[in-house]
Amino acid sequence: MKGIKENYEGHSELYKEHASGQEKEKHASTWLEEGNVSYWLHERMYKTIAPILEVEKGANWLTVGDGRYGKDAGYILKNGGNALATDICDYLLKEGKEKEVIKEYKKENAESLSFNDREFDYVLCKESLHHFPRPFLALYEMLRVARKGVVMIEPYDYDFFDNFWEMTHKLIAILKGSTVFKHHRFEEHSYCYTISRRELEKVAAGLGLRTLAFKGHNFYYEEGVEYAPTTPDSEVFNRVKQKLAERDSQCKRKTRSYSMLIAVIFTEDPSGELQEAMKKEGFEIKTLPQNPHKT
């Protein structure tokens, strides 16, 4: 299909522009520079999977859509896990290995992974699933190769009736005849396919999987965070922290939806130790009902 080809070609071209010696090389280098606000924001997301890394020490991970030097795999490696970084474009993965961010990488299409069933303990897909032209094909592939579970860190498509704030704004928009309230988002080269708890529960139930974990997370971006320092006198850093604190407070009062969803679909029942560790970090463990028609 034309849209699929355009999506993948656009993705490859985007990363090619960021490769060594290319137009956006300077911008790409900020992704690896500790001490800037963008790096801090992404570390904040990575830390949400700390309970799994701590309890499942030495686990074997696959990262999918990890084209920014393999940073996702690099975080896992730094925190006691083993990881293979993959992306459909390997321009920056090659550089990531040269820079010793990662140990190994492989060029892979998320919709058709070359690995055996249950070859990895866990699969991590951070901020990539929403770019894929056929995200559910990729999700089923990730579930196929995962022995213990698939972890997603993705933009959150709020569950409408669970959030008064979203429902109220939608109703106001309808009454005013406004088209400002958008159901659909597009990003460079792709549609932004946000995920919801309800959708993921249905995916799991259809496969006979019963345990999931969910945690809301807020992300705030403004132009220039890649070059702003995380020092006490940094106006950008202080403004970002303030915005995040305000949004976290609103989410706890249920007057706003989280912008991101951390979701884990377990392909085998997690240990009690892991469940307790995740609960302490704010995860909700969701157990789906058994099919009453099966004995």
CATH code for the domain of 272:
3.40.50.150
Could you tell me the sign of the dihedral formed by the alpha carbons of 188, 193, 196, 200, in that order? negative
d(CA 40, CA 28): 15
- 120-126 and 146-155 as β-strands: parallel, antiparallel, unpaired? parallel
Whether 238 is in a domain gets the answer no
Whether 77 is in a domain gets the answer yes
Whether 240 is in a domain gets the answer no
d(CA 28, CA 101): 14
Q: In the chain, which stretches have pLDDT less than 50? A: 161, 179-181
Total tally of structural domains belonging to the chain: 1
Whether 247 is in a domain gets the answer no
pLDDT of residue 1: 62
Whether 233 is in a domain gets the answer no
SS3 128: coil
Which domain does 76 fall in, by range? 2-161+185-225+258-287
HSE, side-chain direction, 13 A CA sphere, residue 291: 10
113 close to 141: Cβ distance less than 8 angstroms: yes
154 close to 125: Cβ distance less than 8 angstroms: yes
pLDDT of residue 25: 86
Whether 235 is in a domain gets the answer no
Whether 232 is in a domain gets the answer no
Whether 174 is in a domain gets the answer no
60 close to 120: Cβ distance less than 8 angstroms: yes
User: What residues contact 255, with CB distance under 8 A and at least 6 apart?
Assistant: 164, 165
User: What residues contact 281, with CB distance under 8 A and at least 6 apart?
Assistant: 48, 50, 51, 215
- Token reading at 161: 């009736």
Distances (CA, A) of 228 to 4, 35, 240: 36, 8, 11
39 close to 112: Cβ distance less than 8 angstroms: no
pLDDT of residue 180: 46
